[in-house]
Amino acid sequence: MSAIASPRPTGRQLSRGVAAAGALAGFLLAWKLVVVVTGYPAFILPAPETVAARFVQAWLDGTIAPHALRTLTEILPGFGIGAVAALIVGYLLARLPLVDRVLSPYLVAAQAVPILVFAPLLALWFGPGITAKIVICALIVFFPIAIATMVGIRAVDDRLLELARSLRATRRQIVTTLEIPAALPSIFGGLRVGVTLAVVGAIVGEWAGADRGLGLLVNIARGSLFDIPLLFATIVTIALLGIALYGLVVLVERRLVRPR
Protein backbone atom coordinates (compact mmCIF):
# COMPACT_ATOMS: atom_id res chain seq x y z
CA MET A 1 0.00 0.00 0.00
CA SER A 2 1.47 3.28 -1.11
CA ALA A 3 1.95 5.99 1.46
CA ILE A 4 0.17 9.28 1.01
CA ALA A 5 2.67 12.08 0.73
CA SER A 6 2.06 14.91 3.14
CA PRO A 7 1.85 18.38 1.60
CA ARG A 8 5.07 20.33 1.82
CA PRO A 9 5.40 24.09 1.81
CA THR A 10 6.43 25.53 -1.53
CA GLY A 11 9.44 27.76 -2.05
CA ARG A 12 7.18 30.80 -2.32
CA GLN A 13 5.47 29.96 1.00
CA LEU A 14 8.83 29.47 2.69
CA SER A 15 10.13 32.78 1.34
CA ARG A 16 7.01 34.54 2.58
CA GLY A 17 7.43 32.98 6.01
CA VAL A 18 11.08 33.99 6.17
CA ALA A 19 10.22 37.53 5.04
CA ALA A 20 7.48 37.84 7.66
CA ALA A 21 9.77 36.54 10.41
CA GLY A 22 12.52 38.89 9.28
CA ALA A 23 10.16 41.87 9.31
CA LEU A 24 8.98 40.99 12.82
CA ALA A 25 12.55 40.60 14.04
CA GLY A 26 13.50 43.93 12.47
CA PHE A 27 10.54 45.66 14.11
CA LEU A 28 11.37 44.24 17.55
CA LEU A 29 15.03 45.18 17.14
CA ALA A 30 14.14 48.75 16.17
CA TRP A 31 11.74 48.94 19.12
CA LYS A 32 14.46 47.75 21.50
CA LEU A 33 16.97 50.22 20.06
CA VAL A 34 14.55 53.11 20.57
CA VAL A 35 14.09 52.10 24.23
CA VAL A 36 17.84 51.77 24.78
CA VAL A 37 18.84 54.96 22.98
CA THR A 38 16.13 57.19 24.41
CA GLY A 39 16.17 55.66 27.88
CA TYR A 40 12.38 55.86 28.16
CA PRO A 41 11.05 54.26 31.36
CA ALA A 42 8.57 51.39 31.17
CA PHE A 43 5.59 53.65 31.96
CA ILE A 44 6.26 55.56 28.71
CA LEU A 45 7.65 52.94 26.32
CA PRO A 46 8.25 49.45 27.74
CA ALA A 47 10.81 47.18 26.12
CA PRO A 48 9.60 44.28 23.95
CA GLU A 49 10.61 41.69 26.55
CA THR A 50 8.67 43.61 29.22
CA VAL A 51 5.55 43.58 27.07
CA ALA A 52 6.03 39.88 26.28
CA ALA A 53 6.32 39.02 29.96
CA ARG A 54 3.23 41.10 30.82
CA PHE A 55 1.35 39.51 27.92
CA VAL A 56 2.03 36.00 29.22
CA GLN A 57 1.24 36.97 32.80
CA ALA A 58 -2.03 38.68 31.84
CA TRP A 59 -3.21 35.60 29.98
CA LEU A 60 -2.16 33.22 32.75
CA ASP A 61 -3.82 35.19 35.55
CA GLY A 62 -7.06 35.70 33.59
CA THR A 63 -6.75 39.43 33.07
CA ILE A 64 -7.09 39.43 29.27
CA ALA A 65 -9.05 36.24 28.53
CA PRO A 66 -12.59 37.37 29.57
CA HIS A 67 -12.17 40.69 27.77
CA ALA A 68 -10.91 38.96 24.61
CA LEU A 69 -13.84 36.54 24.71
CA ARG A 70 -16.35 39.40 25.02
CA THR A 71 -14.78 41.26 22.10
CA LEU A 72 -14.86 38.10 19.99
CA THR A 73 -18.55 37.54 20.78
CA GLU A 74 -19.21 41.07 19.53
CA ILE A 75 -17.15 40.70 16.35
CA LEU A 76 -18.50 37.40 15.04
CA PRO A 77 -22.25 38.18 14.97
CA GLY A 78 -21.60 41.77 13.90
CA PHE A 79 -19.44 40.64 11.02
CA GLY A 80 -21.91 37.93 10.04
CA ILE A 81 -24.94 40.24 10.05
CA GLY A 82 -23.10 43.03 8.23
CA ALA A 83 -21.66 40.65 5.62
CA VAL A 84 -25.00 39.01 4.80
CA ALA A 85 -26.74 42.39 4.49
CA ALA A 86 -23.88 43.72 2.37
CA LEU A 87 -23.98 40.74 0.00
CA ILE A 88 -27.70 41.25 -0.60
CA VAL A 89 -27.47 45.02 -1.04
CA GLY A 90 -24.33 44.73 -3.17
CA TYR A 91 -26.08 42.37 -5.55
CA LEU A 92 -29.10 44.67 -5.79
CA LEU A 93 -26.83 47.64 -6.47
CA ALA A 94 -25.17 45.72 -9.28
CA ARG A 95 -28.32 44.44 -10.98
CA LEU A 96 -31.00 47.05 -10.26
CA PRO A 97 -30.11 50.56 -11.50
CA LEU A 98 -32.97 52.10 -9.52
CA VAL A 99 -31.60 50.70 -6.26
CA ASP A 100 -28.15 52.00 -7.20
CA ARG A 101 -29.46 55.52 -7.85
CA VAL A 102 -31.53 55.60 -4.66
CA LEU A 103 -29.14 54.00 -2.14
CA SER A 104 -25.66 54.98 -3.35
CA PRO A 105 -25.72 58.61 -2.13
CA TYR A 106 -26.87 57.53 1.32
CA LEU A 107 -24.28 54.74 1.54
CA VAL A 108 -21.48 57.11 0.61
CA ALA A 109 -22.73 59.76 3.06
CA ALA A 110 -22.91 57.20 5.88
CA GLN A 111 -19.43 55.93 5.08
CA ALA A 112 -18.03 59.48 5.12
CA VAL A 113 -19.04 59.89 8.79
CA PRO A 114 -16.52 58.16 11.11
CA ILE A 115 -17.94 55.29 13.13
CA LEU A 116 -16.51 56.98 16.23
CA VAL A 117 -19.24 59.60 15.83
CA PHE A 118 -22.03 56.99 15.79
CA ALA A 119 -20.65 54.90 18.67
CA PRO A 120 -21.83 57.12 21.57
CA LEU A 121 -25.26 57.49 19.97
CA LEU A 122 -25.65 53.74 19.48
CA ALA A 123 -24.48 53.13 23.04
CA LEU A 124 -27.17 55.56 24.20
CA TRP A 125 -29.87 53.81 22.14
CA PHE A 126 -28.92 50.18 22.87
CA GLY A 127 -27.20 50.58 26.24
CA PRO A 128 -23.71 49.50 27.31
CA GLY A 129 -24.35 45.83 26.53
CA ILE A 130 -23.30 43.72 23.58
CA THR A 131 -26.06 44.84 21.18
CA ALA A 132 -24.56 48.25 20.44
CA LYS A 133 -21.17 46.71 19.63
CA ILE A 134 -22.75 44.17 17.26
CA VAL A 135 -24.56 46.99 15.46
CA ILE A 136 -21.34 49.02 15.19
CA CYS A 137 -19.45 46.01 13.78
CA ALA A 138 -22.23 45.36 11.27
CA LEU A 139 -22.24 48.99 10.14
CA ILE A 140 -18.49 49.28 9.74
CA VAL A 141 -18.14 46.09 7.67
CA PHE A 142 -21.18 46.76 5.49
CA PHE A 143 -19.80 49.30 3.03
CA PRO A 144 -16.58 47.59 1.83
CA ILE A 145 -18.30 44.23 1.41
CA ALA A 146 -21.28 45.76 -0.42
CA ILE A 147 -19.02 47.67 -2.81
CA ALA A 148 -16.82 44.60 -3.43
CA THR A 149 -19.92 42.51 -4.14
CA MET A 150 -21.29 45.12 -6.52
CA VAL A 151 -17.99 45.34 -8.42
CA GLY A 152 -17.67 41.56 -8.61
CA ILE A 153 -21.21 41.02 -9.90
CA ARG A 154 -20.87 43.76 -12.50
CA ALA A 155 -17.62 42.21 -13.71
CA VAL A 156 -19.31 38.93 -14.70
CA ASP A 157 -18.89 38.37 -18.44
CA ASP A 158 -22.08 39.33 -20.29
CA ARG A 159 -21.45 36.55 -22.79
CA LEU A 160 -21.70 33.98 -20.03
CA LEU A 161 -24.97 35.52 -18.89
CA GLU A 162 -26.34 35.35 -22.44
CA LEU A 163 -25.24 31.72 -22.71
CA ALA A 164 -26.99 30.86 -19.45
CA ARG A 165 -30.20 32.55 -20.63
CA SER A 166 -30.03 30.77 -23.97
CA LEU A 167 -29.89 27.49 -22.06
CA ARG A 168 -33.04 28.59 -20.21
CA ALA A 169 -31.35 28.80 -16.82
CA THR A 170 -33.57 30.22 -14.10
CA ARG A 171 -32.70 33.43 -12.26
CA ARG A 172 -31.76 31.39 -9.20
CA GLN A 173 -29.49 29.13 -11.26
CA ILE A 174 -27.75 32.11 -12.83
CA VAL A 175 -27.14 33.68 -9.43
CA THR A 176 -25.95 30.54 -7.63
CA THR A 177 -23.96 28.83 -10.39
CA LEU A 178 -22.62 31.76 -12.40
CA GLU A 179 -22.72 35.21 -10.84
CA ILE A 180 -21.78 34.41 -7.24
CA PRO A 181 -18.96 31.96 -8.14
CA ALA A 182 -17.54 34.42 -10.68
CA ALA A 183 -17.67 37.28 -8.16
CA LEU A 184 -16.13 35.32 -5.26
CA PRO A 185 -12.58 36.75 -5.63
CA SER A 186 -13.95 40.29 -5.37
CA ILE A 187 -16.36 39.36 -2.58
CA PHE A 188 -13.60 37.78 -0.52
CA GLY A 189 -11.51 40.90 -1.03
CA GLY A 190 -14.29 42.82 0.70
CA LEU A 191 -14.59 40.17 3.41
CA ARG A 192 -10.86 40.46 4.16
CA VAL A 193 -11.21 44.19 4.69
CA GLY A 194 -14.49 43.80 6.55
CA VAL A 195 -13.26 41.29 9.12
CA THR A 196 -10.40 43.57 10.18
CA LEU A 197 -12.76 46.54 10.35
CA ALA A 198 -15.07 44.47 12.56
CA VAL A 199 -12.28 44.33 15.15
CA VAL A 200 -11.95 48.11 14.95
CA GLY A 201 -15.71 48.50 15.32
CA ALA A 202 -15.83 46.35 18.45
CA ILE A 203 -12.99 48.29 20.09
CA VAL A 204 -14.56 51.65 19.22
CA GLY A 205 -17.89 50.48 20.62
CA GLU A 206 -16.23 49.40 23.86
CA TRP A 207 -14.55 52.78 24.17
CA ALA A 208 -17.97 54.42 23.97
CA GLY A 209 -19.26 52.32 26.86
CA ALA A 210 -18.87 48.73 28.01
CA ASP A 211 -18.55 46.58 31.09
CA ARG A 212 -16.07 44.19 29.46
CA GLY A 213 -13.92 43.95 26.34
CA LEU A 214 -10.44 44.66 25.05
CA GLY A 215 -11.37 48.28 24.34
CA LEU A 216 -12.40 48.69 27.97
CA LEU A 217 -9.18 47.02 29.11
CA VAL A 218 -7.17 49.55 27.07
CA ASN A 219 -8.94 52.37 28.90
CA ILE A 220 -8.40 50.71 32.29
CA ALA A 221 -4.72 49.98 31.63
CA ARG A 222 -3.94 53.53 30.58
CA GLY A 223 -6.26 55.13 33.15
CA SER A 224 -6.92 53.80 36.62
CA LEU A 225 -4.19 51.14 36.58
CA PHE A 226 -1.63 53.14 34.58
CA ASP A 227 -0.17 49.78 33.54
CA ILE A 228 1.48 50.62 30.21
CA PRO A 229 2.93 47.11 29.67
CA LEU A 230 -0.63 45.77 30.06
CA LEU A 231 -1.80 48.40 27.58
CA PHE A 232 0.76 47.17 25.05
CA ALA A 233 -0.14 43.54 25.81
CA THR A 234 -3.80 44.33 25.10
CA ILE A 235 -2.87 46.01 21.83
CA VAL A 236 -0.90 42.90 20.86
CA THR A 237 -3.94 40.78 21.69
CA ILE A 238 -6.15 42.95 19.47
CA ALA A 239 -3.64 42.66 16.63
CA LEU A 240 -3.41 38.87 16.99
CA LEU A 241 -7.20 38.62 17.03
CA GLY A 242 -7.39 40.58 13.81
CA ILE A 243 -4.69 38.44 12.19
CA ALA A 244 -6.45 35.23 13.24
CA LEU A 245 -9.81 36.34 11.82
CA TYR A 246 -8.16 37.57 8.62
CA GLY A 247 -6.38 34.24 8.27
CA LEU A 248 -9.67 32.40 8.75
CA VAL A 249 -11.25 34.36 5.88
CA VAL A 250 -8.21 33.63 3.70
CA LEU A 251 -8.48 29.93 4.54
CA VAL A 252 -12.14 29.83 3.52
CA GLU A 253 -11.28 31.75 0.35
CA ARG A 254 -8.66 29.19 -0.61
CA ARG A 255 -11.20 26.43 -0.12
CA LEU A 256 -13.85 28.07 -2.28
CA VAL A 257 -11.94 30.05 -4.89
CA ARG A 258 -9.75 28.21 -7.36
CA PRO A 259 -6.54 30.00 -8.30
CA ARG A 260 -6.52 31.26 -11.84
The pLDDT of residue 9 is 57
Kindly list the domain boundaries of the chain, sorted by start residue.
67-256
Average pLDDT along the chain: 87
Compute the distance between CA of residue 3 and CA of residue 221 in angstroms, rounded to an integer.
54
> Would the pLDDT of 5 be above 60?
no
Write down how long the chain is: 260
Report whether CATH 1.10.3720.10 matches the domain 67-256.
yes
Highest-pLDDT range among 2-6, 118-122, 145-149: 145-149
Interval 22-73: pLDDT, tens: 888 898 899 989 988 988 888 888 999 999 999 999 999 999 999 999 999 9
> Would the pLDDT of 135 be above 90?
yes
Compute the distance between CA of residue 7 and CA of residue 42 in angstroms, rounded to an integer.
45
Q: Between 209 and 182, where is the model more confident?
A: 182
Q: Between 97 and 244, where is the model more confident?
A: 244
Interval 151-190: pLDDT, tens: 999 998 888 888 888 888 888 888 888 889 999 999 999 9
- Residue 67 CB neighbours (<10 A): 23
Q: Could you write out the DSSP letters of every residue in 157-182?
A: -HHHHHHHHHTT--HHHHIIIIIHHH
Residue pair 115/139 in contact by the 8 Å Cβ criterion: yes
